[in-house]
C-alpha cells in the first residue's frame, strides 16, 4: 500500500502500471492539473494581499456573478494544461463552450472538465474553497479539427479520473483513478503533494447531514420527510439525534464526508422550475460521484445513480444526494415510495398545530 512520502507522480506511475485505461501520458496530464491547483492555492492564500478578492464585474455563462479568483483560476487551468500535448480539449463551468487546444500546441487523447473555483462565494469571508476536475477519453470518432461539445457528453461511469483540491488550513488534493480514493497534502517546504490519506473510506451509516434548510418550502416530499425525521432525533422514527452542517462549498462538504461520514443534499426543488437541479453534472456532480463511489459511498439524484446519468448539454444541472451509502439508499427509497403513493404524509415539525388535546 502506498503511504508515507509517496508523491503524486510516484502514485500515478504505480497506478498506470496497473490500469491499461491510463494510457500514454496520463500521469503528465495529472501533473499539469496539479500545477494548476498549486497556482490557485497560492492566489487563494494571499487573498487581499494580492488584490484578487471581490467581483470581476461580469457574469459567467450560468448568469452568476464572477469573482476575480473565478477568472484567475480558470486561466490557471488553461495556462498549465493547454500546451502539454495531453489534451484534445477542455471545458469549464466558467466558459460557455468547449475550449479548443490552440493550433500551435499538439493534441492528445484526453478531455478535461473542471470547476476552477468551487464555493467562490465564500472567498471574501475566508472560508474553504476548492477546484474540481474530471478526465475523460476523447471518443475514437472525434472530429479531426478537435472535439465538439458532444464529445464531452459522456456519463460519469466513463471517467478515467476525478479529483478536487481543497484550499483550507492545509491544501489537499483528493484523487481517484478508479482504484480507491486517495488524499494528498501539499508540503509547502518542498512544493509537493504527498500521500497522507490512502484508501479513504466513507462509513455506510451516519448521524450527520448537510442541506440548506432555508429552501425547505421548495423541497420535494421525500426530502422533506427525510430531513424531518433527522430533526426529530431520538423522539422520532429514527430514534437517534442527528447533526446538521452547511458550508455552501461542495468541495468542503464532500471532504468532510470523506473524513468522517455524512450525507450531503442539494435536491431538486421548485424554487426555479426551469432548473432540474442546482449543481452542474459534468463539472461537479459526476467527478464527486466517482470520488465518493470509490470511497464506498453512493451518489444519486434521488432517482438514479449520478454516474449513470447521460448528459444532454455541457452545463446541465442535476439534483445531488451523496455520502454514506445507507442514508443515500434510504432517500432513494423515499423517492420510490412517493412515486407510488406509499409514503407517509409529511407534516412539518416546525409549523404544525399544537394543542393540549390529542385527537386519537
The mean pLDDT of the chain is: 89
Q: For residue 9, what is its C-alpha cell? A: 507522480
What is the rounded average pLDDT of the residues 305-319?
97
Band of the pLDDT at 283, cuts 50, 70, 90? Answer: very high
| pTM score above 0.85 | yes
Q: Where are the domains of the chain?
A: 8-197, 208-339
- pLDDT, residue 326, reads 97
What is the three-class DSSP state of 173? Answer: strand
Of the candidates 264, 267, 260, the residue with the CA atom closest to the CA atom of residue 251: 264
Helix (H) or strand (E) holding 11: helix 8-18
Query: In this structure, what C-alpha cell is assigned to residue 109?
Result: 487523447
> Going by C-beta distance under 8 Å and a sequence separation of 6 or more, which residues neighbour residue 326?
204, 205
Whole-number pLDDT of residue 67: 75
Give the chain's length: 360
Say what percent of the chain tops pLDDT 70.
88
- 23, pLDDT greater than 90: no
Please indicate whether residue 45 or residue 116 has the higher confidence score (pLDDT).
116
In degrees rounded to 5, what are phi and psi of residue 315? -110, 30
Q: Identify which has the larger pLDDT, 62 or 151.
A: 151
8-197 under CATH 3.30.540.10, yes or no: yes
Q: Residue 272: which of 64, 55, 58 has the closest Cα?
A: 64
**Highest mean pLDDT out of 40-44, 254-258, 276-280, 349-353:** 254-258
pLDDT of residue 296 exceeding 90: yes
Confidence of residue 69 (pLDDT cuts 50, 70, 90): confident
Residue 139 neighbours by CB under 8 Å, 6+ apart:
147, 151
Nearest to 247 by CA among 116, 131, 119, 133: 119
Residue 202's φ and ψ, nearest 5 degrees, are -95, 125
Per the CB < 8 A criterion, the answer to whether 141 and 255 are in contact is no
Would you place residue 64 in the very low, low, confident or very high pLDDT band (cuts 50, 70, 90)? low
| Bridge partner residues of 135 (DSSP) | 112, 161
Q: Are 155 and 171 in contact (CB under 8 A)?
A: no
Each residue of 295-310: b (16+ CB within 10 Å) or e?
bbbbbbbbeebbbebe
Q: Rg for the chain (alpha carbons), in Å?
A: 21
Q: 22: which DSSP letter?
A: S
Higher pLDDT, residue 257 or 58: 257
Q: For residue 59, what pLDDT band results from cuts at 50, 70 and 90?
A: low
Instruction: Answer yes or no: is pLDDT of 357 > 50.
Output: no
- Judge whether residue 159 has pLDDT over 60: yes
pLDDT the model gives residue 66: 73
Q: Percent of the chain at pLDDT above 90?
A: 74
pLDDT-derived band of residue 94, with 50, 70 and 90 as boundaries? very high
C-alpha distance across the termini of the chain, in Å: 61
Cell numbers given for 40? 490557485
As a CATH number, domain 208-339 is: 3.40.190.80
pLDDT computed for residue 62 by the predictor: 63
Please give the helix or strand (H or E) that residue 12 lies within, else none. helix 8-18
Are 8-197 and 208-339 in the same CATH fold? no
Q: List the beta strands (DSSP E) in the chain.
A: 55-59, 65-67, 87-92, 99-100, 110-118, 129-137, 161-167, 171-176, 181-187, 192-197, 208-210, 243-245, 263-266, 279-280, 298-300, 317-318, 320-323
Amino acid at each position: 500500500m502506498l503511504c508515507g512520502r509517496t508523491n503524486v507522480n510516484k502514485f500515478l506511475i504505480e497506478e498506470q502500471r496497473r490500469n491499461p485505461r491510463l494510457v500514454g501520458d496520463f500521469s503528465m496530464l495529472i501533473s499539469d492539473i496539479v500545477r494548476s491547483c498549486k497556482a490557485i492555492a497560492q492566489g487563494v492564500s494571499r487573498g487581499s494581499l494580492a488584490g484578487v478578492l471581490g467581483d470581476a464585474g461580469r457574469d459567467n455563462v450560468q448568469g452568476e456573478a464572477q469573482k476575480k479568483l473565478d477568472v484567475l483560476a480558470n486561466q490557471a487551468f488553461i495556462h498549465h494544461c493547454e500546451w502539454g500535448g495531453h489534451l484534445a480539449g477542455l471545458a469549464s463551468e466558467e466558459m460557455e463552450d468547449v475550449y479548443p487546444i490552440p493550433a500551435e500546441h499538439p493534441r492528445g487523447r484526453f478531455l478535461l472538465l473542471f470547476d476552477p473555483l468551487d464555493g467562490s462565494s465564500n472567498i471574501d469571508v475566508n472560508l474553504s474553497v476548492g477546484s474540481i476536475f474530471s478526465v475523460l477519453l476523447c471518443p475514437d470518432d472525434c472530429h479531426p479539427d478537435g472535439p465538439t461539445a458532444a464529445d464531452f457528453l459522456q456519463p460519469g461511469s466513463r471517467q478515467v479520473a476525478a479529483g478536487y483540491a481543497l484550499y483550507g488550513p492545509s491544501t489537499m488534493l483528493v484523487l481517484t483513478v478508479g482504484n480507491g480514493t486517495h488524499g494528498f497534502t501539499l508540503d509547502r517546504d518542498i512544493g509537493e503533494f504527498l500521500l497522507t490519506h490512502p484508501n479513504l473510506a466513507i462509513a455506510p451509516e451516519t448521524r450527520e447531514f448537510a442541506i440548506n434548510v432555508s429552501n425547505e418550502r421548495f423541497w420535494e416530499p421525500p426530502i422533506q420527510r427525510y430531513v424531518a425525521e433527522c430533526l426529530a432525533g431520538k423522539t422520532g422514527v429514527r430514534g437517534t439525534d442527528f447533526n446538521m452542517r452547511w458550508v455552501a462549498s461542495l468541495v468542503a462538504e464532500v471532504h468532510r464526508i470523506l473524513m468522517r461520514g455524512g450525507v450531503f443534499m442539494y435536491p431538486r426543488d421548485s424554487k426555479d422550475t426551469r432548473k432540474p437541479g442546482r449543481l452542474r453534472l459534468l463539472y461537479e456532480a459526476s467527478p464527486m460521484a466517482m470520488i465518493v463511489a470509490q470511497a464506498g459511498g453512493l451518489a444519486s439524484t434521488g432517482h438514479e445513480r449520478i454516474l449513470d446519468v447521460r448528459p444532454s448539454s455541457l452545463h446541465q444541472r442535476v439534483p445531488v444526494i451523496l455520502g454514506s451509502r445507507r442514508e443515500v439508499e434510504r432517500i432513494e427509497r423515499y423517492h420510490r415510495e412517493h412515486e407510488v403513493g406509499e409514503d407517509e404524509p409529511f407534516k412539518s415539525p416546525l409549523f404544525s398545530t399544537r394543542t393540549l388535546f390529542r385527537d386519537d
